[in-house]
A and B are shown apart, each in its own frame.
Chain A
Amino acid sequence: MSLTQAHLEIARALGVGIVPATDTPGAAELPVAEMIFSVAASWPREMQQQLAGSLEFVDTLSQNLFGEGVAQLDAYTLATFVELLADSADLRPFWVPFRTLVVLNYYGLPEGYEPLGLPGPSIDSGGFTADGEPAAAA
């Protein structure tokens, strides 16, 4: 079993449940799922198969519970489903590392961290004072 476009769509939909679009972009507006799959490409084959199998399991679970795959869920149902996944002890071996990849990649991108007030690279402009002011202006 290898990672396919269908797996990518499931991962992207779950990413929306974790980091939805609000007044700022969500995980689906950024290449978060693609970055996760890029990382997964370097994993041992067994781990890639585990990811693929877990995504398929979660999609089947969604169909059984709501009659639709994850990518078809409306925002409210998706949020409910994500809470269910997050609370499941059985799914923790999949959910915790998957969620880790989503949030690390999302908040590692400028569209993710800049709205929080993180400045991004600053060494070339002289960095900051200890009080948080741009050093060049101090």
Chain B
Amino acid sequence: MPATSPLKSEYDVIVVGAGAAGAAYISRLTAAGLNVLAIERGPFYRDHYNDFYESELAVFNLLWDNNNYGVSGKAFRGTPNLGRAVGGGTLAWTAVALRFFERDFTFASRWGRIPGSNVADWPIRLHHLRRYYSEAEIHMGVSGAPTVWDAPGTPPPPNPPLPLYRGSRLCRDAFERLNMNWAPGRIAVNSQPYNGNGACLNCGHCRAGCRINAKYQADKVLIEPALATGYLTLAYESVVTRLRTSECGRRVCGVTFADTVSGEYRDVDARFVVVCNNPIETPRLLLASANDAHPGGLGNRYDQVGRNFFCHLGTIGYGITEQDLRNSIGHNMGNIMSLDTCENTDNGDYAGGFTLMSLQGAGAGVVALDPLVAVNGERLKEKMAAYNNSILMVSFVEGLPVADNRITLLLAQCDEFGVPKAHVHYDYHDNDIRALGHAQARMRQVLQAAGSSETFVSPEFESHPMGSMRMGRDPHVSATDPWGRVHGIPNLYIGGASLFASGSSVNPTLTLHALALRSADHLVRASLCSEPFTEAVA
């Protein structure tokens, strides 16, 4: 089996999925001296400079394959950019690193019960995450400046803001004309040398993996140092097929996993297991691990595992100007942003809100497929020829959790390792569509105020999957407790956006990183109360 050191039969902790959340857990747990086995489905790219290359097509080498799911409903089209490698989505992400707002943790209290939705308050508040957000920003080397949207007392990010690009300066002028606040984005891209890596070279290819590590990539920043402690074994190109519990089902006792190349299976035991897969694969694994003690799937006594799945609705705008804006260079997302619209204060038409951020870099294919989706033939080529004269923007709209939007299993259809395939049911809530309409209209307004003579705004696409293992205090309406532990199985933790009770409209990665650090601290404390698995580390 491909692994960084010989496998043992038992560890203190097994972390399933070495992506954005898994890396945060791994870093914390190994720093506390716990022996950790991390198991990752994808490859381990150790030499970023030579393993990655600047190409829009190279992005797909880093992404999870969404084609292997059964789908019902109209909203899931396999679009989300989920990671599949050591480092997970942080290799392909656009590095927007924003904190949730205080109000995001009390969505149900703020907006009330919205018919057809299953909105809830989080079981924690912003102050529970505050110090973990700061630590996450230091891990990521976030660049940015204080903004009018920051909660009181929020420290500035560790690096100064990245300079505004030509197109961003037009957006700035547009925001000001429209009496909107603006700020340079909070971006996990080095505006100056940081943590041993150089500043961004503006190549335009963040999503293909940063060859010079000027973008936060969890494998370099967290996992390689964890390996250096001697407390981490990393098995890659390996897939966990089953979580095993004690006979009574009250504790998880290990995992069964397979080498995806050789097909060899292996059982390993642990005192704790942390599942940090994406919000489709995490419930899939718990449901597929059903046993006599958990006939409906692990922790699924009240049929909550897999429920309340939701996404952000993304939309992209393309405004053509007469100016040379060099739009093809630069870090990819959020060079400039306005978060004024993250809370709807204008009218009662919808709950929640949406972000407005600039896009730059090598995204020609994205422009052709999203904002220009209705344009074909010679006219498509004509509009595409204006790429470097264009302003590109993206908006993420807050989608609402709905109980019946959920992940289940296709019991009659198994993958090559005998695990039932997942089924995704996802339809948008009416509120999602109303908020989307406002986001599209506002984006067009900004593009026009920035001097665009012609504008194209895309239909929605689903991005940033969340929910499916919702945090809460009541096991009748949530799948995990406020520490991310599966209800009824206190040594089984969950990491990632699957925990989110609501999704804000800002990008989720900083929050899932902070959540993982907080839960890892809890796990470390819990480990002190249970019998340790001890093995000397050289």
Query: Does any Cβ of B come within 8 Å of A130's Cβ?
Result: yes
- From B11-19, B159-167, B476-484, B492-500, the one touching the partner chain is B159-167
Q: How many residues of B contact A (CB 8 A)?
A: 42
Query: Does any Cβ of B come within 8 Å of A135's Cβ?
Result: yes
Are A19 and B380 in contact, CB atoms less than 8 angstroms apart?
yes
Query: Does any Cβ of B come within 8 Å of A79's Cβ?
Result: yes
Chain B residues positioned under 8 Å from A82 (CB to CB): 376-377
CB distance from B493 to the nearest CB of A (A): 32
CA distance A103 to B368 in the complex (A): 6
Are A119 and B202 in contact, CB atoms less than 8 angstroms apart?
no
- From A5-13, A54-62, A104-112, the one touching the partner chain is A104-112
Closest-by-CB residue of A relative to B382 is A22
CB distance from B479 to the nearest CB of A (A): 28
Are B377 and A108 in contact, CB atoms less than 8 angstroms apart?
no
Assess A86 versus B212: contact at CB under 8 Å? Given A104-B56, A116-B364, A132-B329.
no
Closest-by-CB residue of B relative to A43 is B67
Assess A119 versus B369: contact at CB under 8 Å? Given A113-B362, A113-B364.
no
Partner of B54, one of A47, A120, A126: A120
Are B369 and A104 in contact, CB atoms less than 8 angstroms apart?
yes
Q: Give chain B interface residues in 115-150, CB to chain A under 8 Å.
A: none
Chain B residues positioned under 8 Å from A2 (CB to CB): none
Q: Give chain B interface residues in 352-379, CB to chain A under 8 Å.
A: 362, 364-365, 368-369, 373-374, 376-378
Query: Does any Cβ of A come within 8 Å of B441's Cβ?
Result: no
Q: Give chain A interface residues in 10-29, CB to chain B under 8 Å.
A: 17-20, 22, 24
Are B362 and A20 in contact, CB atoms less than 8 angstroms apart?
no
Query: Does any Cβ of B come within 8 Å of A115's Cβ?
Result: yes
How many Cβ-Cβ contacts under 8 Å join chain A to chain B?
A: 127
CB distance from A18 to the nearest CB of B (A): 5
Chain A residues positioned under 8 Å from B201 (CB to CB): 122-123, 126-128, 135
Chain B residues positioned under 8 Å from A43 (CB to CB): 67
Chain A residues positioned under 8 Å from B162 (CB to CB): 130
Are B377 and A119 in contact, CB atoms less than 8 angstroms apart?
no
Query: Does any Cβ of B come within 8 Å of A4's Cβ?
Result: no
Chain B residues positioned under 8 Å from A122 (CB to CB): 54, 201, 203-204, 329
Query: Does any Cβ of A come within 8 Å of B68's Cβ?
Result: yes
Are B381 and A20 in contact, CB atoms less than 8 angstroms apart?
yes
Assess A18 versus B377: contact at CB under 8 Å? Given A113-B362, A130-B330.
yes
- From B85-93, B234-242, B384-392, B426-434, the one touching the partner chain is B384-392
Query: Does any Cβ of A come within 8 Å of B321's Cβ?
Result: no
Query: Does any Cβ of B come within 8 Å of A118's Cβ?
Result: yes
Are A104 and B57 in contact, CB atoms less than 8 angstroms apart?
yes
Q: How many residues of A contact B (CB 8 A)?
A: 44
Query: Does any Cβ of A come within 8 Å of B46's Cβ?
Result: no
CB distance from B359 to the nearest CB of A (A): 14
Interface string of A80-105 (1 = CB under 8 A from B): 00110010000000001101100111
Closest-by-CB residue of A relative to B390 is A116
Closest-by-CB residue of A relative to B210 is A123
Q: Give chain B interface residues in 189-203, CB to chain A under 8 Å.
A: 200-203
Closest-by-CB residue of A relative to B68 is A44
Are B53 and A121 in contact, CB atoms less than 8 angstroms apart?
yes
CA distance A131 to B335 in the complex (A): 13
CB distance from A44 to the nearest CB of B (A): 6
Partner of A118, one of B53, B65, B77, B362: B362
CA distance A118 to B162 in the complex (A): 21
Query: Does any Cβ of A come within 8 Å of B55's Cβ?
Result: yes
CB distance from A80 to the nearest CB of B (A): 10
Chain B residues positioned under 8 Å from A42 (CB to CB): 65
Chain A residues positioned under 8 Å from B365 (CB to CB): 103-108
Are A108 and B55 in contact, CB atoms less than 8 angstroms apart?
yes
CA distance A12 to B166 in the complex (A): 38
Are B165 and A130 in contact, CB atoms less than 8 angstroms apart?
yes
Query: Does any Cβ of A come within 8 Å of B468's Cβ?
Result: no
CB distance from A21 to the nearest CB of B (A): 9
Query: Does any Cβ of A come within 8 Å of B301's Cβ?
Result: no
CB distance from A50 to the nearest CB of B (A): 11
Are A44 and B67 in contact, CB atoms less than 8 angstroms apart?
yes
Chain B residues positioned under 8 Å from A132 (CB to CB): 165-166, 202, 326, 329-330
Query: Does any Cβ of A come within 8 Å of B328's Cβ?
Result: yes
Between A and B, 25 residue pairs with Cβ closer than 8 Å are A17-B376, A18-B377, A19-B381, A44-B67, A82-B376, A83-B376, A96-B77, A99-B373, A99-B376, A103-B368, A104-B368, A108-B55, A113-B364, A116-B384, A118-B204, A118-B362, A122-B204, A123-B211, A127-B201, A128-B329, A128-B330, A130-B164, A131-B326, A132-B330, A135-B202
Chain A residues close to B by CB (< 8 Å):
17-20, 22, 24, 42-44, 47, 79, 82-83, 86, 96-97, 99-100, 103-109, 112-113, 115-123, 126-132, 135
Add 4 more A-B contacts to A17-B376, A19-B377, A122-B329 (CB < 8 A).
A47-B67, A99-B373, A105-B57, A126-B201
- Would you list the 10 A-B pairs with minimal beta carbon distance, nearest first? A127-B201, A132-B326, A103-B368, A108-B57, A107-B364, A104-B365, A121-B54, A130-B163, A128-B202, A107-B365
